[in-house]
Structure formats: structure tokens, C-alpha cells
Amino acid sequence: MNGSNHKLTNDDNPLSNKVVTDQISTRPSTESVASDTSHPPQLISAIHIGAGSVSMLIGAPSDDEGKVIPIDFFEQPVPIARDVFGKGRVGRPVIERIVRILKEYRAALSELAIPNGLPNRVVATNILAEATNQETILNRVQVACGLDVEPLDDGEMTRLIYMQSQALLNSVKKFAKQNTLVVHVGPGNTRVLYFSRGQISQYSSYRLGAFRAYEAIQTSQPRGEAIISMLREQTRASIDSIYYDYRSNAVDQVVVIGHEMQMIANHVGKASTKGVTTTELRRFLVKICDMSADQRVHEFQLDYAHADSVVAAVKINTRLAESFEAKRIFIPSEDYETEILTQLPFSSSLTRRFQKEVMQSAISIARRYKIDTGHAQHVEKLSVKLFDTLTHLHQLGSRERLLLSVAALLHETGNFITVRAHHKHSYYIIRHSEIFGLSEADIEIVALIARYHRHSPPKSTHDGYSEISRENRMIVSKLSAILRVADALDRAHSQRVQDVTVRLTESRLYIGIADLRDIAVEQLAMESKADMFRNIYGLDVVLESGSTFN
């Protein structure tokens, strides 16, 4: 990484079993950055309130879209996961420590002339959702630091892990030609992504994490073989589930990523270059289980928050690699936290390749519920055409375009339950589906768009719709109106309307269907479904057949 690294070692923090309450400054020496007139004036910063630390990256945008050139990195340990998995809530001393660290980070940003010392983005570990006082924490940070914190959900974490995995696979040529199982053992959950010749073909998430697993056994304070035995029993069910889900896939190698594993990568043989065997990984597991937390801290330059969780991380990854009889296990040596932070400012942006993966996930769900794929894909094509034509009216971007596409593909999944009121069943099915790379908020929007593709338009009393923000309600309304028009164009499910030409006047949207003369079916459908479009966009929808369109 370019620039300076301000990660604290535990020489700075010698306390292993109590919260650090004295203020520790990790503010970088910023004189060279601030005074260097050749340095780009535009800086990007991101803060991550993680499971075991609060970190911040300051960087500059590169010429490659979605990339950040790191300049400064800060990290201070905070035992958030210990509180969440041990007590079910984050204690007041930990909350106040988070506040002090964030104030320091804002001061550092101010020194770099970043307006008001505000970072581009502040996110929190998704395990915070399991804390009974999550709202209290977020409110305290907002009041004390003026920062709005976004808790990361499973959808965005999957997106971040995918981006990291894709970059890794692209950097090693042989991975693109083989079958790779990527395993990310996080603090509370494990994500598994299976790439077949460089293309993702399966993924899933499990309630299995390094902090979660170790916290469950730590009261007995085991050492040596006892740790391995207890972790084996604690993680057996989840590991068996992962193996069951992926057992039919050929696995040429396993790539493991995650905070703990990447912190110890350089200590496990040549894990990052040539890979290690399961025998070597198990030998390393036995070694660290025989060590005390203090010994792990000093030998591997860990902080105390990760000195125990690293044992669980190595154990979980070792057992998974053994289950799949992996010949080699690769562990990237890059700093995991830095890699995540460089992606955060752009992780919500959608690359073309990523959108393709999201659509493949939606198509898989559509097939699972036996929908008419010809109709669904045709409606999706027409929806996107209308969306692109009306960009100046709806003023939505690539994210919303993708959500419309997914909703169009899945709008009739409810037929799997019953044709009657199938739009409501579609909402239920989509809402409870896992769509690769989409957050819970995104999936809720997709489900609602599908819900309103027919019959009643959105009402403030409707479940789901009444619970989302005003901004998202407007997105749902704008996209549902477009989907209804596109769906009306294929009312007979026959794909008669192969292509359309669209033109606008001040009061009308003209849709020309040049290849058809008789459009009575589509006209009838449009009369019943274009009302919402008229209410949202203020335009009457007029169909013109080949005999009248010019």
C-alpha cells in the first residue's frame, strides 16, 4: 500500500481483557500530504466500524473507475464483537471509545482540508444488527460526531467480498481457468462463493463466524487440543451445511479471505503465492492453539480483539478445506481492512460485470419458481427501453435500472403459489429470497415493484410500502409505473411486440409498434394498466400500430 500505515500494535494497547479507555492518537503526520502541491486536491475517505476495530482510509481516486489510491490508513482496536456475542449489546465504555476515535478521525480529515472533516462514507459491521442497542449506538455517534453510520447488510457485504474475490481471481491467471471456492469467514457470518472458470455460479451465507464461534467457547478458557475439539463441535453443523451445498462442485483450489486469515498469511508457509496444504494449515492451527493470547499478539502482530478469533478462523477454514479435499489453500497477503476500505466509497456502484451476476441470480430464482421466462425476459427488455427513454423524467440511475430489470424478471413468481392475487405472492417470494449482491433494502424495493405490476397502485397503508423511506417510495412508484406499461405490451405472453419506438410530447407517451397492425389486445391491457404511469409522469400512453405509426 502506498502512503503511511497507522495500524496500532498491541505494544500500544497492552490490555487484553478490558476496554481501552485512555485516548490513543493515531493521527498521521499530514504535513507532507497537505503541503504537497502536486497531490490531487480531491481526497476520498471511508470509515469502517468493524467487529474488532475502527479504521479509516484516506485516498485519492485513480484513473480506473471505482479504484482508490491509498494515502493514509488509521486503525484502533475496539472490542465490539466481544460485547455483541458475549452480552448481546455494546457496553457504554465501548460506545464512548468509538465516539472518541471518530472525533479523532474527523480532526485528521480537517487537517487535510476535507470540508467539515466529513468522510465520504461511514459504515458499521453487520453484526451490529444483533446488538439490542444498535439504535442507541447510531444515535450517540450522530449526536456526538455528526456522522450518519450505515450498518452494512448481507447484500453489500456479499458485494464487497465479490469485488475482492474478482480482483484476486483476475490477478492470478490460472484461477480464471479453474474452479475456485472462495471462503470469507467474517466475525459473525461465513460467505462462500464458487467460481467456475472465473465466473461466479453459486454463493451463500451461513451463520458461522470467527468471533461468534470463539465467544461461544471462551468461558471455559480452553488451551491446546481442547480448543480444537470444542470449536469442532461448535462449528460442525454449519460446516456440514456448506459441504452439503457445494459437494457436487469440482474444487481445484480454495481461496480464503478475511481479516484474521490475511493478518497471518505471511506466517503460514507460502500461502499467498504457492498456497499451502491442509496439513500445513492444520499444523499452524495446532501451534496457535498452544499459545496464549499474549503470545499470538506479539508473534503475529495482532491486536487483542483478534488474538482469539484468529484461532476460530483458522479452524473453520482448515476444516472446510479438508472437507473439499482441496490440494492448495491460498490466502492473500494484502491487508484485508485496507482492501475493504478502498472499495467502500464505490461499493454501491454497479459495474457491468456485477450487474450481469445479479441478473443471473434473478434468472435462477425465476426458474426455481417456474415462471414464463420468455414473457419475463421480454418484459424486462421493454422495461429497460422505457426506462432509458424517460431518464430525464424519472432522473434515476444505474442502480434503479438494475432493480427494475430484476423486478421485471421476477414479477410473476407469485404464480407458483396461485394465479389469483399472484402479485401479492410475488412480493412475499421476492422479499424472502436472497438475490446475489442486492441489499435487504434493494430486495424490498424489487419486491414492491413486482407487487404493484398490476391492480392497486401503492397506498400508504400497504405493508412494506408504508415502512420504507419517502425516497424509496418514490422509486417504487416510478419503476412500478414503467413495469406496468411494459407488462401490458406483452399481455398475451406471446412476445408479439418485438420492438417499440418511443416518442414524447408534453402530454403523451407514444409507443409505436411497427410490426403489428392489430394491437387490440395491447390497447385493452394498456387502458387498465397505464393509469399509474399517467399519475406519476403526467403522460397519457398512446399505442400506435404499423398502420398509423410514422
400-418: average pLDDT: 94
Give the chain's end-to-end CA distance (angstroms, integer). Answer: 60
Cβ neighbours around 53 below 10 Å, total: 23
Nearest to 255 by CA among 325, 170, 332, 355: 332
Residue 112 lies in a domain: yes
Per the structure, how many domains does the chain have?
3
Closest CA to 276 of 309, 229, 314: 314
341 and 488, same domain (yes or no): no
Same domain, 375 and 295: no
Neighbouring residues of 339: CB distance < 8 A, sequence distance ≥ 6: 164
Q: pLDDT tier at 272 (50, 70, 90 boundaries)? A: low
CATH number at residue 447: 1.10.3210.10
3-state DSSP call for residue 318? helix
Query: Domain check: are 269 and 385 in the same one?
Result: no
186 and 329 housed in the same domain: yes
Which segments of 267-372 does DSSP mark as H helices, in order? 278-289, 293-300, 304-307, 309-323, 336-343, 352-368
pLDDT tens digit sequence for 135-165: 999 999 999 999 999 988 777 788 888 888 8
Cβ pair 106, 85 in contact under 8 A: no
Same domain, 209 and 341: yes
Share of the chain above pLDDT 70, in %: 88
Q: What three-state secondary structure class fits 507?
A: coil
527 assigned to some structural domain: yes
| Whether residue 281 has pLDDT greater than 80 | yes
- Residue 422 shares a structural domain with residue 480: yes
Measured CA to CA, the distance from residue 453 to residue 486 in angstroms comes to: 9
Closest CA to 282 of 236, 251, 314: 314
DSSP 210-230: HHHHHHHHGGG---THHHHHH
- 366 contact partners, CB below 8 Å, separation of at least 6: 373, 376, 409, 410, 413
Q: Which of 101, 122, 151 is the last residue of a domain?
A: 151
Q: In the block, which residue shows the cell 408534453?
A: 506
530 has pLDDT over 50: yes
The answer to whether residues 409 and 456 belong to one domain is: yes
Residue 37 lies in a domain: yes
The H or E element spanning position 85 is: helix 80-87
Please indicate whether residue 516 or residue 326 has the higher confidence score (pLDDT).
326
- Between 225 and 296, residue with greater pLDDT: 296
Greater confidence, 253 or 482?
482
The answer to the question of residue 102 being in a domain is: yes
Contact (CB, 8 A) for 483 and 453: yes
- Cell numbers 453443523 correspond to what residue? 237
**Can you give the pLDDT at residue 222?**
67
Q: What is the pLDDT of residue 33?
A: 38
Q: Which long-range contacts (CB under 8 A, 24 or more apart) does 171-180 make?
A: 172/330, 175/253, 175/255, 178/252, 178/253, 179/249, 179/250, 179/251, 179/252, 180/251, 180/252, 180/253, 180/254, 180/255
Instruction: Give one word for 375, left, alpha or beta, with left for phi > 0 and alpha for psi -120 to 50.
Output: alpha
Rounded (5°) CA angle 461-465-469: 115
In a domain, 334, yes or no: yes
Q: How far apart are CA 467 and CA 250, in angstroms?
A: 43
Under the banding of pLDDT at 50, 70 and 90, the label for residue 2 is very low
Is there a contact between 165 and 182 (Cβ–Cβ < 8 Å)?
A: yes
Q: Stretch 123-138: mean pLDDT, rounded?
A: 94
* For residue 94, pLDDT beyond 90: yes
Does residue 102 have a pLDDT over 70? yes
pLDDT(395) > 60: yes
Q: Do 165 and 114 share a structural domain?
A: no
Query: Whole-angstrom Cα distance, residue 202 to residue 210?
Result: 23
**Residue type for 111, please?**
E
How far is the C-alpha of 241 from the C-alpha of 234, rounded, in Å? 13
In this structure, is the dihedral angle defined by the CA atoms of residues 36, 37, 38 and 39, taken in order, positive or negative? positive
550 found inside a domain: no
One domain for residues 326 and 419: no
Cα–Cα dist 73/317, whole Å: 28
- The predicted-structure confidence for 219-243, as pLDDT tens digits, reads as follows 766 677 888 899 999 999 999 999 9
- Identify whether 525 is part of a domain: yes
Q: What is the pLDDT of residue 99?
A: 97
In this predicted model, which residue has the larger pLDDT, 320 or 328?
Answer: 320
Q: Does one domain contain both 134 and 212?
A: no
Give residue 410's domain range. 352-545
CA 464 to mean position of chain CA atoms: 22
Q: Which three cell numbers stand for residue 111?
A: 487537517
- pLDDT reading at 427 higher than 90: yes
Closest CA relative to residue 300, chosen from 262, 332, 248: 262
pLDDT value of position 157: 83
CATH number for 316 = 3.30.420.150
Instruction: Please check whether residues 342 and 462 belong to one and the same domain.
Output: no
Question: Which CATH number do you get for residue 117?
Answer: 3.30.420.40
The three-point CA angle 290-296-301 to 5° equals: 160
User: Given pLDDT bands bounded at 50, 70 and 90, which one contains residue 447?
Assistant: very high
Based on its alpha-carbon atoms, the radius of gyration of the chain, rounded to whole angstroms, reads: 26
Instruction: Let me know whether 521 and 384 are in one domain.
Output: yes
The domain boundary, picked from 325, 346, 367, lies at: 346
Q: Which of 117, 151, 185 is the last residue of a domain?
A: 151
Report the mean per-residue pLDDT for the chain: 85
Residue 56 belongs to a domain: yes
One DSSP character per residue, 157-219 reads HHHHHHHHHHHHHHHSGGGGGSEEEEEEE-SS-EEEEEEETTEEEEEEEES--HHHHHHHHGG
- Decide if 213 contacts 316 (C-beta within 8 A): yes
